[in-house]
Amino acid sequence: MHLDVLDLRNFYYRSALGRAAQKVIRDQLVEWWPVSHVQGQTVAGYGFAVPLLRPYLPDARRVIGLMPGPQGVMPWPAGQPNVSVLCEETLWPLRTGQVDRLVLMHGLETSEHAGALLEECWRSLGPGGKAVFVVPNRAGLWSRSDATPFGYGRPYSLGQLEAQLRRHRFVTERAISALYRPPSLRRGWRRSAAFLEKVGRHMPILNTGGVLMVEASKQVAAPSRPGLTAAVKRPLRVLEGIGAPVPEPSRRR
């Protein structure tokens, strides 16, 4: 089930916990995709990924925020020309291969048609395009709390997510868990959030962050040529030299 866009907006923009989660996930995304790497490219986000896309607004050729119909849409970014659009979950208003970078957050785990959604991701990405999938971590605390949007939908283990991406022809490049602080507003947890995030990233064996972030790419095999795979060095020339037929001389005397 999709969350309402107003609930998502209030969490990420009007609550301290949501702003903290937004910063952690966005900083990790920018570490993977520095702003200089997306200059002149088309960057799209699906679900409620717009909080992660703001760093790319000045340099990307185009930024698009896709929001599914059951969730609803809101204008974004505030104070600038709107780039968000309401769309069907598995029928995006994008040309095939139009997107260079794609981010999904609060999209895959809440979808009732996850396979078809991943096919639409594949269609929209250009060859070699990259996507980052942000989903609730089954082993983390955030997926067990209804106080955050990550407590809704279908949480994943890393193996489950990678297997699903592989079935839809994505190649996993790298993965990480993030949001190691508990989903609590208590002052002690807020003060130790940066320390917990640092420790968690350097101890991947724990893998207990609130979300999983997986970067995957669209790899397209080179098309095979019809006919022979090797050139014939000395082709037969049976018909060489045959020109137009010469008329026989008249036999009349």
Cα atoms found within 13 Å of the Cα of residue 94, Cβ hemisphere only: 32
Residue 251 burial (10 A CB sphere; 0-12, 13-18, 19+): exposed
Residue 149 burial (10 A CB sphere; 0-12, 13-18, 19+): buried
* pLDDT (0 to 100) of residue 204: 55
Prediction pTM value: 0.82
> What tokens were used for 83?
């780039």
> What tokens were used for 241?
């030299």
Choose among 96, 85, 100: nearest CA to 49.
85
> What tokens were used for 84?
């968000």
Contact 132, 29 (CB under 8 A): yes
CA–CA gap between residue 56 and residue 53 (Å, rounded): 6
Q: How far from 37 is each of 11, 12, 172, CA to CA, in Å? A: 29, 26, 19
Query: pLDDT tens-digit profile of 39-74?
Result: 999 999 999 999 999 999 999 999 999 999 999 999
Query: pLDDT tens-digit profile of 67-96?
Result: 999 999 999 999 899 999 999 999 999 999
Contact 47, 108 (CB under 8 A): yes
* pLDDT (0 to 100) of residue 189: 46
